[in-house]
Each structure stands twice: as structure tokens, then as C-alpha cells.
Amino acid sequence: MANKQPPNPLPSANLKRHMAALLAFLLAVAAVAMMRDGVEETEVAYVRDFFYVGGHYENDGSGGVVLRDQMYVERLRPVAGATQPVPVVLIHGMGMTGSNFLSKPDGGRGWVSDFISQGYDVYVVDQTSRGRSSSYSVDSRSRQPVSLSVETVQDRFTATGQRRLWPQAGNHSQWPGRGVKGDAIFDAFYAATVPSETDAVLTQTAMQRAGAALLDRIGKPAVVLGHSQGGLFPILMADARPGLVRGLILVEPSGPPFRDGFTGAFHPWAIADVPLGYEPAVTDPVRDLVQASHPAPDADHASCTLQATEPAPRQLVNLADKPILVVTSEASYHAPYDYCTVAYLRQAGCQKTDHMELASVGIRGNGHMMFLEKNSGEIQRLLHKWLQTNL
């Protein structure tokens, strides 16, 4: 009878090679998850609360009473506690919700995690009548909400190089994927869009009140960051609660002054549709805010309408001492005219206004939705650096 060999307690060379290959593969997958285009992609741990601010009770027209214009807020803070003395409020733009800042449609890390990792206490809102905030439906004055079409999103945000509707549109290279319907990343982004209230006065009035209520609840000066249509709200909140706003970051805010570059609508208060605290006081903005046109400096930029020099330009007294940063990407439809918004703010007494044109600091190829693009973390680090320098 043949002698049986005892089993070899050690793995064979073949098995070792397979295990090593498997380990290398798993490490590679982990590395991809952790790092994409040189930017860490994992979300950070945080403590989450949510609450509502603002709102008022109103008859619903059928004998009942409802609450409307309240605003949903998420508070996200570092697990070990904030190390930055100033909290950050993030406000999304038209057709969007606060989910814009939580993560990116390609699965990448959002600005919320970036700010939390730097020690900030972060508040993310859904605008009134949007997302998890109350709908406008009981207000008979309101018009039907409007959704951004696929074509508008592609042409303005994600695939601007296709139709090149403005001179810089062909420079867009940072959107992940093809940026068109049927691309998985585009579809994930478009699925997150929501209908928007179109009455600017109703929206801005409600958001100013709810934003002021949020600042009251925070109870100490905050930085307010707004994007696009939401870029007006840091201004309105600072005007209502100047003692509770430490600084403003306006990421491609609605503009330029007096005439909106996206909708074509007239802004009677220049950078808003509702009253602002000017000095001397403005009672009739069409009469009191005397306009003067300035020609475009070159073919890549738009002309500007500012205040005339005679009489002396009215001053935004509640914003004059605030550090303000306007951020403009290289390829956005804002690239031709954001400089007008900066010029208006400075003319109105906001001498601490900085204009960060990303291309001028070596960050190329971004569009209007820069916080969802491949190099979003690089942009956010510039915002953090500006805050550290200017607050």
C-alpha cells in the first residue's frame, strides 16, 4: 500500500501568486475609490441634524390653515466638533436642491465633505418651495413652476461645447462624462433637478425671510455661499442681518446688474428684484438708481450697465464692510458678464469685493456647475484659502 503524504500546511506558490494578485486588485479598486483625478473621493464622517426655519400660516382657500414658505435646513458638522470659528451656509441655484453640495453625480466627493474635513460647521438648505421645503401651491398668485429642459441643461451646464452659445463655451472640459442625455452621469444629475418657482419677487421675499431666520437660529456670524439664482440670497440675507453675516461667496450669481443674462428679466434693484438697503435711500428704483451703459472691453465680454456717476452712486451700506468673493469659471455663460456684477458691487461701496476668475489662477475648463465637476475639490480649496485670508 502506498504511503500517504501529510497535507502541506503552507499555501502553494500558485495560490500565493493568486492571493497576491487578488490583494493588488482590491488595493487598486480602493485606490480608485479614494482618489480620482488627484482628488480624494470618499465622503467624511459627520453628525447630521435637520430642521425648518421661517414660514407663516395662511388660509388655504378652503376653510383650512396651512404653513408656507418654511425652509428645510440640514446641519452637518465634524464628528469631533468644528475647529473653524465661522459656520458656512450653502444655497443652491434654480432647478436644484441642497443635494448639489452633498456629493457629485459621478459618485465623487461634494463640497459639504470638503468643508467638513477642514473643520467647518455646514448648513445646507433647500430653497423655499423647492425640494423638502414647502411647495408654493396654496398661493394663488404664484405661476406654474418651471423645469429646466434637457436641452437647456446640456447647452448651459454640461455640454456647452456642442452649440457654443457664448465665446468661452468651447473651453469646457471638466464635466465628467459626455454631458448629454443617455450618459449615466448626466442622467444622474438631471434626475436630481426639480421644478422652480418663477416669480422672482415671491422667491426672493420668502428666501430673505427664511434666510434671516436661519441666521438668527445659528446665532453667530456665518459665511453665506450661494450659486447662480441662489447667489442673490447671500446679499439679501446680509442686507437683512448685517451683524450675522461674516462674509459672502457668490459662485456665478444671477446677473449682470439690471438685466439677467439667463432669463432676460429686468432687475429693478440692480442685483435683486426686492428692496435693498441703499444710502441715500431708494424709494423708486427705476428713478433713483440712475443707469449708465459701459461698452464691452472686448469680443469675449458683454457690455455693462452700472449706476451713473451723476448723481453719486447709491451705496449698499449693509454690505460695505463685508468680504465678498465672486467666483467665475473659464467656460461658463457667466464668463462674459460676471465682471459687471463685481464692478457694480465695488461702485456701490463694497470695496472688499474680490473676483476669482478660475482661469487666471490656473484652473481651466470649468462650467457653471463647477462644484460637480472633476476638479471641484481644487476649487473648494481656493475658497477655503480665501476664507482663511479674508475673515
The residues assigned a catalytic role are 228
Does residue 235 contact residue 273 with C-beta atoms inside 8 Å? no
Measured CA to CA, the distance from residue 181 to residue 60 in angstroms comes to 39
Place of cell 414660514: 55
With CA atoms as reference, report the closest residue to 391 among 241, 221, 272, 197. 221
Does residue 204 contact residue 158 with C-beta atoms inside 8 Å? no
Q: How far apart are the first and last CA of the chain?
A: 88
Other C-beta atoms lying within 10 Å of the C-beta of residue 190: 20
- What would the grid cell of residue 279 be? 444710502
Measured CA to CA, the distance from residue 81 to residue 78 in angstroms comes to 5
Measured CA to CA, the distance from residue 102 to residue 121 in angstroms comes to 14
- Sign for the CA dihedral angle at 114, 116, 122, 125 comes to positive
Measured CA to CA, the distance from residue 127 to residue 121 in angstroms comes to 19
Cβ burial 40-63 (10 Å sphere, 16+ → b, else e): bbebbebeeeeebbbbeeeeeeee
